């Protein structure tokens, strides 16, 4: 149900959107990295292909330059020039000169693989030199070596009869002694610088396959096609492409010596370059799919990783959003239930919490300010109640003292004094009241500034009287009385000199617990009444006045304090009150036998009153205590009297303590039972335990720690780990499933807790027991 609510929670959606946005950042980074990698691969592939193309271009340029240089050397050959310029009469041949010239020219075929097939035509002799021999009749050469589609007359006219200057003919089909091939023809008239007519023609037949090998080397990695065209756009050589396709490309001419890249139809990458030697254009066409094959592989890997990471990231985002939004939703729900709001009064939960928390803080600040303003009044009221003996127990006094940190009261020994300003009794005019108020304020300030080991607190009794509570540490008890006397002497001297007033100070006997300060206050009151018998204002100590022995001391407030201490089982307090009672009656008074009997009757009546209150109304308890009360007899021995009364008081306190222990044991059992029944709930916490047992969280935590020696959370963890060990031993559940079954939100938290408690990991434990 909670998970369903969270799915529709704005906090859950906010967390989820934030995590998804954070998740998209590395995804976007990965995508950008892929684009950069793809571009780098494309660029490097094109650069590598361009480099190979440039190398092929440079090689071919050198070969063609060598061909041109050879034709220059032929034109400068003396024997060949002699034969070309020799006048020929009829059929007369200078056989030796022709043979010598042929021998010189045949050697050039070894210098360049492009010169394997070449011939030189001499116009005057009408003969053809070839590396393999001399053809006296050109027709015989034509029969063996000729272009397909070019007859003999065209051959003589176009090839042998024209003037050629470094002319290159595109690739043409050629019959090489019966072998079909394609050749590129290089033509140069001899001599080299012939401008009007030539004496001969050097014809070099370059096998297209020789050039194609260079282009194929460039295409080895990515396949594709390539071609070379001359300045006029005629195809010199081609690989993997037809002439019609070349014409349809319309590749722009690159700048001489530079390489350009072009994308055609989004499928083919073109790399073109132009020779600075002869103006030929070199073009390579690479299929984009082949060039980007590595990039496609990287894309597949990248997208696979990206999608997988995205899926896992979304799952993690859902879990984190749930984990982080659940506490906020619970807090919002608690606020809404406690404040009674049916809906949110803000745009979102954060504004709602901020508004409510701000309101709480403002309210708390306002309360603190009000408390600070009321603090002096609260402290004065506390002091008056303390002196009147209105508190039921010492624990109540200590609790209230903890809430008033500014009050200077030590929970130790002390005295109570009453100060009276003499001479104003019965005077009630407005002027006198103002004068007394001012005098009291000045004396309060003076008292608070005096005393090195004393803590002094003052409260007004009426217009002319003040009650003074003096406390000190037990270690300073030996000097306390002297210090008190010195303080009041200085006060009396100060008031007389500065304000012309006389004061009387009455001090009761000392006390050793704040709960007994009311007795000292009552004694100070009696001492003040006694001080009227003195002739002048002075400090009157209760211990110094004459004690009346006509009546016993057992005031109603003292009886109530002792009864309250018994009912809550504070045995030390009970003993202290009872010992103080004995001291007042038997150490400071001389009681008659009748007074002792009456005091004993009052004490016995106190026990009967206790039997009417919880936890002594239970029949089983009363049966044991009531007979003891009835059998209580007065003893003439003070020590025996003390033991009998104190023994009965201890019996009453023991009953209370046992009842408390039984109640505490029952409460601990209830808490343990609830934990054992609900340990599998991942949201189980101290608040839910407190609701179940109907006690405050702080009290439960303290009580459980005192009784068991460990915290509630540690005990719950041990229960969960114990159940987990049983499941690991007796079930086939996975560790993740077990972590959920025993109340953990995540397997990681379960593994850490299991190792912390048992010392080994869950998987190691399962292997060990199996």
pLDDT band at 7 (very low <50, low <70, confident <90, very high): very low
Greatest mean pLDDT among 41-50, 114-123, 680-689: 680-689
Q: What is the pLDDT of residue 190?
A: 84
Answer whether residue 456 is part of any domain.
Answer: yes
Q: What is the mean pLDDT of residues 233-261?
A: 74
Q: What is the pLDDT of residue 6?
A: 46
The pLDDT tens digits of the residues spanning 389-404 come to 877 777 777 777 777 7
Q: What is the pLDDT of residue 4?
A: 41
Query: Which run of H or of E encompasses 566?
Result: helix 556-567
Q: Poorest-confidence range of 193-207, 242-256, 405-419?
A: 242-256
Cα dist. 584→32, 208, 466, 547, 587 in Å?
A: 95, 139, 25, 10, 6
Q: Is the pLDDT of residue 251 over 60?
A: yes
How far is Cα 415 from Cα 457, in angstroms, rounded to an integer?
11
How far is Cα 219 from Cα 53, in angstroms, rounded to an integer?
9
- CATH number of the domain bearing residue 703: 1.10.10.60
Q: What values do phi and psi take at 53, rounded to 5?
A: -65, -40
Q: What values do phi and psi take at 8, rounded to 5?
A: -100, 10
Task: Sheet containing 179-190: give its strands across.
Answer: 133-135, 127-130, 117-122, 200-207, 179-190, 167-176, 145-147
Answer whether residue 5 is part of any domain.
Answer: no
Average pLDDT along the chain: 77
| Residues 478 and 603 grouped into a single domain | no
Residue 214, burial from CB neighbour count under 10 angstroms (0-12, 13-18, 19+): buried
DSSP state of 44: H
Query: Do 130 and 119 touch, CB atoms closer than 8 A?
Result: yes
| Residues 580 and 540 grouped into a single domain | no
- CATH number of the domain bearing residue 477: 3.30.70.270
How many H helices and E strands in the chain? 26, 17
How far is Cα 411 from Cα 473, in angstroms, rounded to an integer?
8
Whether the model pTM is above 0.95: no
Greatest mean pLDDT among 263-272, 474-483, 484-493: 484-493
Tokens of 631: 């059998």
The pLDDT tens digits of the residues spanning 741-767 come to 888 888 888 888 888 888 888 888 787
Tokens of 253: 């001419």
| Residues 640 and 750 grouped into a single domain | no
Q: What is the pLDDT of residue 409?
A: 76
How far is Cα 545 from Cα 317, in angstroms, rounded to an integer?
84
Q: Poorest-confidence range of 129-143, 168-182, 424-438?
A: 424-438
Q: Of 211, 233, 258, which marks where a domain is finished?
A: 211
| Residues 515 and 655 grouped into a single domain | no
How far is Cα 694 from Cα 686, in angstroms, rounded to an integer?
12
Q: What is the pLDDT of residue 42?
A: 67
Query: Do 74 and 202 touch, CB atoms closer than 8 A?
Result: yes
Q: Which residue is it, tokens 């600075």?
A: 276
| Residues 104 and 165 grouped into a single domain | yes
Q: What is the mean pLDDT of residues 540-569?
A: 75
Q: What is the pLDDT of residue 115?
A: 61
Q: What is the pLDDT of residue 61?
A: 76
| Residues 621 and 726 grouped into a single domain | no
Answer whether residue 731 is part of any domain.
Answer: yes
Q: What is the pLDDT of residue 593?
A: 64
| Residues 398 and 539 grouped into a single domain | yes
How far is Cα 178 from Cα 182, in angstroms, rounded to an integer?
13
pLDDT band at 459 (very low <50, low <70, confident <90, very high): confident
Answer whether residue 742 is part of any domain.
Answer: yes
Query: Domain span at residue 111?
Result: 76-211
| Residues 614 and 729 grouped into a single domain | no
Q: Of 626, 661, 696, which marks where a domain is finished?
A: 661
Answer whether residue 714 is part of any domain.
Answer: yes
Tokens of 300: 């597949």
Name the percent of the chain lying above pLDDT 70.
Answer: 81
| Residues 406 and 523 grouped into a single domain | yes
Residue 559, burial from CB neighbour count under 10 angstroms (0-12, 13-18, 19+): middle
Q: What values do phi and psi take at 204, rounded to 5?
A: -110, 120
Tokens of 721: 């780990």
Answer whether residue 753 is part of any domain.
Answer: yes
| Residues 643 and 744 grouped into a single domain | no
Q: What Rg do the C-alpha atoms of the chain give, in angstroms?
A: 61
- CATH number of the domain bearing residue 142: 3.30.450
List Cβ neighbours of 646 (8 Å cut-off, separation of 6 or more).
575, 578
| Residues 610 and 739 grouped into a single domain | no
| Residues 105 and 203 grouped into a single domain | yes
Tokens of 142: 């034509």
Q: What is the mean pLDDT of residues 254-266?
A: 63
Tokens of 257: 């010596």
Between these two residues, 110 and 543, which has the higher pLDDT value? 543
Q: Of 494, 514, 544, which marks where a domain is finished?
A: 544
How far is Cα 527 from Cα 539, in angstroms, rounded to an integer?
10
The pLDDT tens digits of the residues spanning 622-637 come to 557 777 777 777 655 6
Q: How many domains does the chain have?
A: 4
Instruction: Map 234-277 to HEC letters.
Output: CEEEEECCCHHHHHHHCCCCCCECCEEEEEECCCEEEEEEECCC
Q: What is the mean pLDDT of residues 502-525?
A: 84
Strands (E), 519-602: 539-541
Q: What is the pLDDT of residue 533?
A: 53
Query: Do 546 and 377 touch, CB atoms closer than 8 A?
Result: no
Answer whether residue 71 is part of any domain.
Answer: no
Q: What values do phi and psi take at 173, rounded to 5?
A: -60, 140
Q: 3-state class of 463 per DSSP?
A: coil
- Alpha-carbon torsion, ordered 345, 348, 351, 357, to 10 deg: 70
Answer whether residue 555 is part of any domain.
Answer: no
Q: Is the pLDDT of residue 293 over 60?
A: yes
Q: Which residue is it, tokens 């023991």?
A: 654
């Amino acid at each position: 149900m909670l998970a369903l609510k969270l799915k529709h929670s704005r906090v859950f959606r906010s967390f989820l959107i934030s995590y998804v946005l954070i998740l998209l950042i590395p995804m976007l980074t990965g995508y950008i990295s892929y684009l950069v990698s793809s571009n780098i691969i494309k660029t490097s592939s094109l650069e590598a292909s361009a480099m190979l193309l440039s190398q092929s271009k440079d090689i071919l340029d050198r070969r063609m330059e060598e061909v041109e240089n050879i034709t220059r050397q032929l034109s400068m050959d003396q024997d060949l020039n002699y034969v070309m310029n020799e006048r020929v009469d009829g059929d007369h041949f200078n056989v030796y000169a022709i043979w010598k010239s042929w021998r010189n020219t045949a050697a050039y075929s070894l210098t360049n693989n492009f010169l394997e097939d070449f011939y030189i035509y001499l116009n005057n002799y009408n003969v053809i030199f070839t590396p393999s021999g001399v053809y006296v009749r050109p027709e015989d050469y034509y029969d063996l070596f000729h272009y397909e589609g070019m007859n003999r007359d065209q051959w003589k006219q176009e090839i042998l009869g024209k003037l050629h200057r470094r002319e290159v003919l595109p690739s043409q089909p050629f019959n090489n002694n019966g072998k079909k091939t394609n050749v590129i023809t290089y033509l140069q008239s001899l001599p080299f610088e012939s401008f009007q007519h030539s004496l001969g023609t050097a014809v070099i037949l370059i096998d297209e396959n020789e050039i194609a090998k260079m282009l194929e080397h460039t295409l080895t990695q990515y396949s594709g096609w390539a071609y070379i065209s001359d300045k006029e756009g005629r195809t010199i050589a081609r690989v993997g492409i037809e002439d019609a396709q070349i014409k349809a490309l319309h590749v722009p001419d690159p700048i001489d010596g530079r390489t350009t890249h072009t994308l055609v139809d989004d499928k083919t990458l073109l790399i073109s370059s132009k020779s600075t030697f002869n103006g030929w254009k070199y073009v390579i066409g690479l299929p984009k799919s082949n060039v980007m094959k590595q990039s496609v592989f990287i894309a597949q890997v990248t997208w696979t990783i990206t999608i997988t990471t995205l899926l896992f990231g979304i799952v993690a985002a859902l879990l984190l959003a749930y984990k982080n939004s659940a506490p906020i939703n619970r807090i919002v729900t608690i606020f809404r239930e406690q404040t009674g709001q049916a809906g949110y009064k803000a745009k979102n939960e954060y504004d709602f919490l901020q508004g409510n928390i701000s309101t709480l803080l403002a309210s708390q600040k306002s309360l603190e300010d009000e408390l600070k303003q009321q603090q002096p009044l609260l402290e004065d009221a506390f002091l008056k109640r303390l002196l009147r003996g209105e508190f039921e127990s010492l624990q109540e006094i200590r609790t209230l003292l903890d809430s008033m940190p500014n009050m200077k009261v030590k929970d130790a020994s002390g005295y109570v004094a009453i100060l009276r300003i003499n001479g104003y009794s019965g005077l009630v005019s407005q002027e006198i009241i103002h004068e007394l108020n001012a005098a009291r304020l000045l004396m309060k300030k003076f008292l608070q500034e005096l005393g090195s080991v004393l803590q002094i607190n003052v409260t007004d009794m009426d217009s002319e009287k003040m009650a003074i509570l003096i406390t000190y540490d037990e270690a300073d008890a030996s000097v306390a009385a002297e210090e008190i006397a010195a303080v009041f002497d200085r006060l009396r001297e100060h008031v007389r000199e500065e304000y012309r007033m006389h004061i009387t100070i009455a001090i009761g006997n000392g006390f050793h617990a704040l709960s007994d300060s009311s007795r000292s206050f009552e004694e100070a009151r009696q001492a003040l009444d006694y001080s009227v018998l003195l002739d002048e204002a002075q400090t009157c100590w209760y211990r110094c006045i004459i004690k009346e022995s006509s009546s016993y001391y057992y005031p109603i407030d003292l009886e109530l304090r002792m009864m309250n201490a018994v009912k809550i089982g504070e045995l030390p307090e009970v003993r202290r009150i009872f010992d103080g009672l004995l001291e007042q009656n038997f150490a400071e008074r001389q009681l008659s036998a009748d007074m002792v009997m009456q005091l004993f009757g009052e004490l016995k009546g106190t026990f009967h009153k206790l039997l009417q209150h919880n936890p002594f109304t239970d029949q089983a308890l009363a049966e044991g205590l009531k007979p003891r009360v009835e059998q209580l007899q007065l003893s003439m021995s003070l020590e025996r009297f003390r033991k009998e009364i104190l023994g009965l008081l201890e019996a009453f306190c023991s009953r209370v303590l046992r009842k408390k222990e039984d109640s505490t044991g029952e409460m601990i059992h209830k808490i343990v039972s609830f934990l054992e029944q609900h340990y599998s709930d991942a949201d189980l916490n101290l608040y839910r335990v407190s609701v179940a047992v109907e006690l405050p969280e702080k009290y439960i935590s303290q009580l459980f720690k005192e009784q068991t020696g460990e915290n509630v959370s540690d005990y719950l963890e041990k229960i969960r780990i114990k159940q987990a060990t049983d499941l690991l031993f007796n079930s086939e559940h996975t560790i993740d499933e077990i972590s959920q079954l025993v109340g953990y939100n995540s397997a990681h938290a379960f593994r850490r807790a299991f190792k912390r408690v048992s010392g080994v990991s869950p998987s190691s434990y399962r292997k060990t027991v199996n």
